[in-house]
Chain A
């Protein structure tokens, strides 16, 4: 399988023919253009090493994310960044390339924070290993974390080592009635206190919170915060299967500082990550990007909408120059996922 991948890459590089690296295709909707002949990674699957007491799992790129999570759950552990699957076909390699994190991100960290090591086939089909299977490792540049969220433009991620965490002993979901302004104020105030808030979602005047941790801590925090017990919306929000995400209206993802004031944009809004992630339905692209930038963040046209004008926020010239140089260091023939992360890459 590995040799076949290498042959495909060498052949594509020789012909200058783009390759579209693809796992289960669950995130085909995300990012820029899809171009090139499909290189399907699903055949290269399986857990390579998993020792629960090490808090590290190493698996191949084609491993179904659901299968990996089931194995971890069997040992009382989890991927703490709660990567969205967006369908049953999601693979580990695709999830790392997409770099997306779910509801627990503000509390636990992002996917990139849990990447310890990677194996990669670069544009010369070289089999490279970076980082490792240990928690602390500062030998060499941290190219493993650079691959998280790279959307496959640097190479074919073959294998990933991730830090895993124990599942919390107790969880509880609360609901409070709060306006957007008051919800943001409360979320930021709570975040400055040692409360075990592991997820938050505000929409339509209602704030839902998840508390996770030791049973005593969850109980004490619930009494402190107040509100009513509520059904858990977290799986639906993580997977965008919640009815809020249904329909054809373009879906914008605004990543802003948690303390940013209400953005005042028209359209339905769902706020996660203690205020740091704001989903928006519809809206004028220039107005949305402008509001995100003024707040100190950036906007992504996540699903739908007019995508030809670019889905990600533009890069500053100095950053774009570095992106180009890095792209050519990893992929001199420019064959991997052209246009997926940026039109110029």
Chain B
């Protein structure tokens, strides 16, 4: 918000030259350059940042992707890959002087192999669609980001997306076997395989979560897991947020790895209950949702142990989902938390810090103090099992003063996450949104090595430039502003 993005669309001649080069092998409908056609691509889920792409390319085959990359490489034109455009950190913000490479037409499931328990899919396939096609075989794809109905597997690979079940089932990096695609110069790349490991360095792990800076994926192989036959949720109320945090630690200390373990504080349950009617206890200072899944016998055993742990930790109310409908209803509120908050405030800013769980009480106390300091409300939803916090600062972007306070608030919270040994982003990525905070998370030597890794894949620096890893010059500037201003300046905030 503090930064007006340059609408450097390049000159018309350049635009025409690039469009012409792409039209040599793409049909007219797959090369967009007129403003009314490119406007829908001006932003991703982080809508505060908007920029018209010079040209949008919509290839339909891997060979066309390769030719787009080769052409752009030859012309020295930047390329930004885009999946479903649901990312929350601006990773798919278009280049004003380059090509937005949409993988939206890569919608095919190329192979579903129940015997091998894997699916080979194109990058535009939606996350939830993989589980849908696997369901008749009793299989599913485990990572389930809240946006799973809309987000694409290609975007999940770029961001190493998580979800509410990742403590037990892992992130994208734990569930993808192979990624095939192209480097910026059009060279075919193939990372991983259907075996459980591959010779050489683990380039698959490096590619996953690289935010579209290293390669463009055109084919992704995911592993499928057997769908647990039983799942139940224990919902527990606590009269104190700290007690709820301690209850989370107590579950883990009891040797239980729940399928999901989520916390919401009272402001969050109040916002959600009006919207979703999930049946949450509105008296509670915080509620926990703890899911057990597996064979029916083990679910019963684990639910009994979880209830006992919560009771000992001082739960004021305990409810166990009686059937699948009730289990889904308990989750409906949590999954609807962001849109629910969107209804009670003109705007909200979602943070994504991860902290060691033991520092939860301290960090929530800090956030409460920031609410007082800045005069802004901040409901909290929290992937408690893995320490990933999503504080939602409520503000009105039409008030310049609220914007300023929100950015200062968010800056202090992210710095606190780093200070307690955590990180600025657990699952949403750095993109353009948190690029300045990377200067606080890493030293210049680490950032230099990141740039060297980038050069290994893309020496010309044309693939998704300016994202994820700040230049040292930018960090120097950030540090100077930081010291002089006395507060972290945030480049922009999303408006939902």
Interface residues of A (CB under 8 A from B): 51-56, 76-77, 99, 105-106, 109-110, 112-113, 122, 126-130, 132-143, 145-146, 148-150, 154, 165-167, 169, 188, 191-196, 213-217, 219-221, 255-259, 273, 276-277, 296-298, 300, 312-316, 318-319, 322-323, 325-326, 329-330, 341-342
Cα-based distance from A232 to B97 in the complex (angstroms): 63
B4 sits at the interface (CB 8 A): no
Least Cβ distance of A184 to chain B in Å? 11
Task: Name B226's contact: one of A76, A194, A256, A297 (CB within 8 Å).
Answer: A194
B205 sits at the interface (CB 8 A): yes
Cα-based distance from A344 to B233 in the complex (angstroms): 53
Cα-based distance from A12 to B429 in the complex (angstroms): 38
B159 sits at the interface (CB 8 A): yes
Least Cβ distance of A338 to chain B in Å? 15
Least Cβ distance of B352 to chain A in Å? 9
Q: A134-B421, A138-B426 are in contact. Are A192 and B138 (CB under 8 A)?
A: yes
Task: Name A298's contact: one of B173, B199, B385, B421 (CB within 8 Å).
Answer: B199
Q: A53-B249, A329-B449 are in contact. Are A319 and B190 (CB under 8 A)?
A: yes
Q: A76-B255, A148-B202, A192-B139 are in contact. Are A136 and B174 (CB under 8 A)?
A: no
B415-444 CB contacts (< 8 Å) to partner A:
421-430, 434, 438, 441-443
Q: Kindly report which residue of chain A lies nearest to residue B189, judged by CB atoms.
A: A318
Residues B201 and A141 in contact, CB atoms below 8 Å apart: no
Give chain A residues whose Cβ lies under 8 Å from the Cβ of B257: 165-166
Residues B424 and A139 in contact, CB atoms below 8 Å apart: yes
Task: Name B426's contact: one of A109, A137, A213 (CB within 8 Å).
Answer: A137
Least Cβ distance of B238 to chain A in Å? 17
Give chain A residues whose Cβ lies under 8 Å from the Cβ of B229: 194
Task: Name A134's contact: one of B189, B301, B356 (CB within 8 Å).
Answer: B356
- B114, B199, B426, B445 interface centre (most CB from chain A within 10 Å): B199
Least Cβ distance of B300 to chain A in Å? 7
- A51, A216, A219, A296 interface centre (most CB from chain B within 10 Å): A216
Cα-based distance from A77 to B255 in the complex (angstroms): 8
Residues B446 and A128 in contact, CB atoms below 8 Å apart: yes
Q: A52-B253, A138-B160, A192-B114 are in contact. Are A214 and B297 (CB under 8 A)?
A: yes
Q: Kindly report which residue of chain B lies nearest to residue A277, judged by CB atoms.
A: B196
Q: A135-B167, A276-B196, A326-B453 are in contact. Are A51 and B159 (CB under 8 A)?
A: no
Task: Name A149's contact: one of B117, B202, B298 (CB within 8 Å).
Answer: B202
B104-126 CB contact bits vs A (8 Å, 1 = yes)?
00000000011111000000000
Give chain B residues whose Cβ lies under 8 Å from the Cβ of A134: 354-356, 386-387, 421-423, 426
B162 sits at the interface (CB 8 A): yes
Give chain A residues whose Cβ lies under 8 Å from the Cβ of B255: 76-77, 166-167, 169
Cα-based distance from A139 to B89 in the complex (angstroms): 12
Least Cβ distance of A89 to chain B in Å? 24
Interface residues on B, range: 35 or more
Task: Name A342's contact: one of B174, B200, B358, B456 (CB within 8 Å).
Answer: B200
Least Cβ distance of B440 to chain A in Å? 10
Task: Name B174's contact: one of A106, A109, A150, A312 (CB within 8 Å).
Answer: A109
Cα-based distance from A34 to B472 in the complex (angstroms): 37
Q: A132-B423, A169-B255 are in contact. Are A145 and B453 (CB under 8 A)?
A: no
Q: Kindly report which residue of chain B lies nearest to residue A77, judged by CB atoms.
A: B255
Known: A134-B386, A134-B387, A135-B387. 11 other contacts (CB 8 A): A52-B252, A128-B443, A129-B443, A134-B423, A134-B426, A142-B208, A194-B294, A255-B196, A312-B199, A316-B190, A322-B203
B269-298 CB contact bits vs A (8 Å, 1 = yes)?
000000000000000000000000011011
Give chain A residues whose Cβ lies under 8 Å from the Cβ of B167: 135
Residues A56 and B203 in contact, CB atoms below 8 Å apart: no
Least Cβ distance of A288 to chain B in Å? 14
Residues B115 and A188 in contact, CB atoms below 8 Å apart: yes
Give chain B residues whose Cβ lies under 8 Å from the Cβ of A298: 193, 195, 198-199
Residues B427 and A138 in contact, CB atoms below 8 Å apart: yes
Task: Name A296's contact: one of B195, B301, B355, B456 (CB within 8 Å).
Answer: B195
Least Cβ distance of A310 to chain B in Å? 10
Q: Kindly report which residue of chain B lies nearest to residue A292, judged by CB atoms.
A: B195
B171 sits at the interface (CB 8 A): yes
Residues B209 and A217 in contact, CB atoms below 8 Å apart: no
Task: Name B298's contact: one of A112, A191, A214 (CB within 8 Å).
Answer: A214
Residues A325 and B197 in contact, CB atoms below 8 Å apart: no
Residues A143 and B386 in contact, CB atoms below 8 Å apart: no
Give chain B residues whose Cβ lies under 8 Å from the Cβ of A169: 255
Using a Cβ cutoff of 8 Å, how many contacts connect chains A and B? 263
Residues A135 and B196 in contact, CB atoms below 8 Å apart: no
Cα-based distance from A276 to B117 in the complex (angstroms): 13
Residues B429 and A138 in contact, CB atoms below 8 Å apart: yes
Cα-based distance from A278 to B115 in the complex (angstroms): 19
Cα-based distance from A220 to B230 in the complex (angstroms): 14
B186-219 CB contact bits vs A (8 Å, 1 = yes)?
0111100111111111110110111000100000
Can you list 17 residue pairs at the A/B interface with Cβ under 8 Å? A52-B252, A132-B422, A134-B355, A134-B386, A135-B387, A136-B383, A139-B441, A139-B442, A141-B209, A142-B160, A146-B203, A166-B255, A216-B300, A217-B295, A277-B196, A318-B188, A326-B201
Q: Kindly report which residue of chain A lies nearest to residue B423, judged by CB atoms.
A: A137
Give chain B residues whose Cβ lies under 8 Å from the Cβ of A55: 252
B432-491 CB contacts (< 8 Å) to partner A:
434, 438, 441-443, 445-446, 449-450, 452-453, 455-457, 468-469
Give chain B residues whose Cβ lies under 8 Å from the Cβ of A167: 255
Q: A148-B202, A255-B197, A322-B456 are in contact. Are A140 and B438 (CB under 8 A)?
A: yes
Residues B206 and A145 in contact, CB atoms below 8 Å apart: yes
B314 sits at the interface (CB 8 A): no
Give chain B residues whose Cβ lies under 8 Å from the Cβ of A330: 449, 452
Residues A149 and B201 in contact, CB atoms below 8 Å apart: yes
Least Cβ distance of B88 to chain A in Å? 11
Give chain B residues whose Cβ lies under 8 Å from the Cβ of A273: 196
- B228, B253, B468 interface centre (most CB from chain A within 10 Å): B253
Give chain A residues whose Cβ lies under 8 Å from the Cβ of B188: 318
Residues B446 and A194 in contact, CB atoms below 8 Å apart: no
Top 7 nearest A-B pairs (CB, nearest first) are A325-B456, A216-B297, A166-B255, A329-B452, A145-B205, A297-B195, A136-B426
Give chain B residues whose Cβ lies under 8 Å from the Cβ of A316: 190
B51 sits at the interface (CB 8 A): no
Give chain A residues whose Cβ lies under 8 Å from the Cβ of B206: 141-143, 145-146
B241 sits at the interface (CB 8 A): no
Task: Name B446's contact: one of A54, A130, A193, A196 (CB within 8 Å).
Answer: A130
Q: A128-B445, A297-B193 are in contact. Are A315 and B301 (CB under 8 A)?
A: no
Residues B456 and A326 in contact, CB atoms below 8 Å apart: yes
Residues A150 and B201 in contact, CB atoms below 8 Å apart: yes
Give chain B residues whose Cβ lies under 8 Å from the Cβ of A56: 356
Least Cβ distance of A165 to chain B in Å? 7
Cα-based distance from A128 to B358 in the complex (angstroms): 25
B406 sits at the interface (CB 8 A): no
Q: A194-B294, A221-B295 are in contact. Are A136 and B210 (CB under 8 A)?
A: no
Residues A110 and B354 in contact, CB atoms below 8 Å apart: no
Give chain A residues whose Cβ lies under 8 Å from the Cβ of B208: 142
Residues B201 and A341 in contact, CB atoms below 8 Å apart: yes
Cα-based distance from A297 to B194 in the complex (angstroms): 7
Give chain A residues whose Cβ lies under 8 Å from the Cβ of B174: 109, 113
Residues B446 and A113 in contact, CB atoms below 8 Å apart: no
Give chain B residues whose Cβ lies under 8 Å from the Cβ of A191: 117, 226
Residues A341 and B200 in contact, CB atoms below 8 Å apart: yes
Give chain A residues whose Cβ lies under 8 Å from the Cβ of B201: 146, 149-150, 154, 323, 326, 341
Q: A54-B356, A216-B297, A296-B193 are in contact. Are A128 and B449 (CB under 8 A)?
A: yes
